């Protein structure tokens, strides 16, 4: 069972990294970073990219947690 969680963790790590990269480029092209209107500077949540960051960090965190599975086998012989 431990090997299956490591594979699932590796898949989540790859997906989380890709999603984090995409959300970073989405942030860099949003009105929170670019100066479209100098008077009104939007925050991450107002620009709509905060939830993408939060979701990608959660996917990456669970992927790292599953990839570092420390389950011991019951082979005591």
How many Å apart are CA 6 and CA 59, to the nearest integer?
Answer: 14
Number of domains in the chain: 1
Question: Is 73 inside any structural domain?
Answer: no
Helices (H), the chain: 2-28, 44-47, 50-67
Within a domain: residue 77?
no
Task: Give domain status of residue 74, yes or no.
Answer: no
Q: pTM of the predicted model, to two decimals?
A: 0.75
Q: What is the pLDDT of residues 29-77, one digit of tens each?
A: 887 777 776 677 777 788 788 898 999 999 999 999 888 876 555 555 5
At residue 32, the pLDDT reads: 77
């Amino acid at each position: 069972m431990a090997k299956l969680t490591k594979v699932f963790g590796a898949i989540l790590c790859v997906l989380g990294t890709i999603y984090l990269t995409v959300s970073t480029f989405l942030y860099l092209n949003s009105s929170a970073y670019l100066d479209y209107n100098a008077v009104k500077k939007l925050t991450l949540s107002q620009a709509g990219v905060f939830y993408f960051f939060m979701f990608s960090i959660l996917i990456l965190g669970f992927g790292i947690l599953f990839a570092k599975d420390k389950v011991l086998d019951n082979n005591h012989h």
